[in-house]
Structure 1
């Protein structure tokens, strides 16, 4: 089997690598870098990715979500099974956790055979990515019709990895007289949101700014969530609330979408763009449930087809569109009332 080993212990990497090679397996990479291991796993057909904790470049959950979405393969973590973060990873696709052995254990033949058996068992349980092509074609051909064909007042947009450029591609095509307000949750590092809003404001005829408490955006305005708190809407007023992360994120797309679905009903359009994970999928389902319409970015134009795919998998996408078609479709449904 073809294996990548990512662990911050050079001794563990060496012993495990030698053990696998002696067993006739091919070790493609031994590294302490999370980023390097993810790039290698995405660029090659591998049978197993063996991760350690506290890698450089990318965290374990970021690697797991990226691999799961782009090139699914068995992933084993050598670490602490009792750690809360690791138990969460098990719920989101990690195959299993092997307690980190001591160097003495690694050198014992009995332990080596047990470890090899666990690795081989993981490969035999290899996950397979679902084929969504038929479902996407069905969505495009037979998209559910929202209750109302006109009168959309607000557009919510959610994005993550690759989101800034995707947002630019949409907002720069919308006219200054766009007859709806827009609110956006973009996953990013705290402190970068003001620069992103300023950049998008310069690229668009719309006015793009950060959302504030008790915000009431008007048509032609785009408000972006600041990081560190959830942005929600009630009584047509947007405000921030504290709370735990949702889908590993704060602010979460699901919190904005769900509150907006309850507030605007059939007068809401939701757009879910490129990004890792599943944030926004449940929110899209709530938008449809309340009579609104949802648009998700297609796989070909997504940097990471995670969030859009999650919405498709739960039948929460009214339309699956390439990035360059989303702005035009929004203008059609909002300015002319057409949803065909």
Structure 2
């Protein structure tokens, strides 16, 4: 018989600890092996019990979610699912700092009295815990460096390509009519575009990439991140604090401009027109939305060889066929290396399709993007 997934629940509210425990243990595949009311208790429990997953509150006494996540990822790496009670800017800011410290995903805490909504929340919570239990997390040294500073205790590889399959089916939700066009549009006037797709574990890597791009970066950046509904705005604010590049949620009709990053909004597919403007689609929800495949296919159609595709950590295959569309239009395609991925499913799927020109670790992606855009003839200042 398969061993149950062992979970430690961390929350300063006794009622919420019981609530989350009950939700998780309704599934026989999950066992809550410990509960903690603050970060210090959580660290002791995790070191003692070595659970498969930790659900972590944001605001707690003694040690908050950020300090606790940093310590655990530095000394006892464990998949962490952040549960936040509020989408207020302060709480969301802490939440994304936790993701930057190594937590893998974030979801809003179940609340309310609607039985149907609570049942949906319970299923979603169980699903996320099951996914994260399979993640092999790595040690993050930032917590150790901070501990030392505080005095408290304790090269890119080219890819040998497989032959391209004779035909790769396009995403079923995208057709030529999906993207508004203009008879007066001039594709030659379009700036280069970098399109980044990511899922589980992606926010931290995207943050690292954005932080590594210069203020004068002469390409637009479009980001499709699978994240729980309600957190896109907070992610945009968090990424904007990473460096000098402005980061905003994409709006219908907004121009795609160099030196600016746009994020796909909640439950909307991010497309581009031949005029170089944003089009947000409410196409029927066939798969994940926002879809990385749909955005990359749209970029391939409009920008061709002026595009660069980057596919980061995540489970499943979203983005693989999008990368293939880019590859076939002579765009440059980069996949995150498996060793640094929280879940390598998405990059691996693109590699297996023969759609990836280069495999890179996160630290090498931003410098490579600068090199590639410069090679297109667009000047990059420091």
TM-score under structure 2 length normalisation: 0.54
Q: Does 1:336 align with 2:375?
A: yes
Partner of 1:243: 283
**Match among 295, 309, 314 for residue 275 of structure 1:** 314
Q: 1:237 to 1:12 in 2, by over 3 A?
A: closer
The 1-side partners of 2:332 and 2:278 are apart by 20
Unaligned residue ranges in structure 2 (runs of 5+) = 7-21, 35-49, 55-77, 79-118, 138-155, 163-189, 378-382
Cα RMSD of the aligned pairs, angstroms, is 3.7
Partner of 2:91: none
Give the Å deviation of 1:217. 2.2
Unaligned residue ranges in structure 1 (runs of 5+) = 14-27, 44-52, 72-136, 145-150
Give the Å deviation of 1:245. 3.0
Q: Does 1:221 align with 2:260?
A: yes
The 1-side partners of 2:290 and 2:192 are apart by 22
Query: Larger Rg: 1 or 2?
Result: 1
TM-score under structure 1 length normalisation: 0.60
The 1-side partners of 2:24 and 2:313 are apart by 34
Give the Å deviation of 1:243. 2.0
Partner of 2:108: none
Q: Secondary structure at the match of 1:190?
A: coil
Q: 1:335 to 1:2 in 2, by over 3 A?
A: same
Q: Does 1:165 align with 2:183?
A: no
Q: Is the 8 A contact 1:245 1:252 kept in 2?
A: no
Q: Is the 8 A contact 2:159 2:356 kept in 1?
A: no
The 2-side partners of 1:181 and 1:307 are apart by 23
Q: How many residues align?
A: 239
**Match among 209, 213, 235 for residue 248 of structure 2:** 209
The 1-side partners of 2:260 and 2:280 are apart by 18
Give the Å deviation of 1:306. 1.9
Partner of 1:183: 222
For 1:69-218, what aligned pairs fall within 5 Å after superposition? 140-142=158-160, 153-218=192-257
The 2-side partners of 1:207 and 1:263 are apart by 23
Q: Secondary structure at the match of 1:232?
A: strand
Partner of 1:256: 295
The 1-side partners of 2:332 and 2:213 are apart by 18
Q: Is the 8 A contact 2:195 2:296 kept in 1?
A: yes
Q: Secondary structure at the match of 1:203?
A: coil
Partner of 1:19: none
Q: Secondary structure at the match of 1:329?
A: helix
Between 1:194-203 and 1:2-11, the stretch displaced more is 2-11
The 2-side partners of 1:198 and 1:278 are apart by 28
The 1-side partners of 2:26 and 2:249 are apart by 48
Give the Å deviation of 1:209. 0.7
Q: Is the 8 A contact 1:152 1:268 kept in 2?
A: no
